Amino acid sequence: MTSQSDPEHPPRLFASLRQLLTTVTGMAHTRLALAGLELEEELQRLIGLMLGVLGVLVFGMLGLVMLTLAVVLAVDPGQRVAVLALFAVAYLGAGGWALWRIKRELATRPPFLQATLAEMAKDSDALHAATHKEPSP
C-alpha cells in the first residue's frame, strides 16, 4: 500500500487513472449507442426498401399481365406473335433499367457504420495525440 508521501506513486495517479477509465467508458458507450442507432436506421431503410420492391413486383406484374393480355386479344390473330415480341422487348428493357437503378443505389449508399467509424477514428487520434504529448515542465 502506498502512502501520500511516496514519490513513485503520487496521490493523483489513481485519480487520473479513474478519470481516464471514466472517459474511455463514456466514449465506448457513446460509440456503441451511435452504432446501434445506425444499425436501426439501416434496418428500417432495408425493410422499407424490401416492402417497396415487393409491392412493385406484385402489382406491376399483375398490371403488365392484364395489359399484355388485353392488347394481344385486341389485335388481329395474325399479328399476335409480333405484338408479344414487342411486349417482350419492352419488358426486357424495363428490367434492364430496374437493374441499373438498383446497382446505382447500392453503389452510392454511404458505407456501413460510416459515422461510428469516423467518430472512433477521431477518438483514436485524440487519445494518440494526448498520450504522445510531451509533458510540460
pTM of the predicted model as reported, rounded to 2 decimal places: 0.48
pLDDT band at 132 (very low <50, low <70, confident <90, very high): low
104 against 109, higher pLDDT = 104
Burial of 6 (0-12, 13-18, 19+ CB in 10 A): exposed
The two most distant CA atoms of the chain are separated, in Å, by: 107
What is the rounded distance in angstroms from the CA atom of residue 115 to the CA atom of residue 111? 9
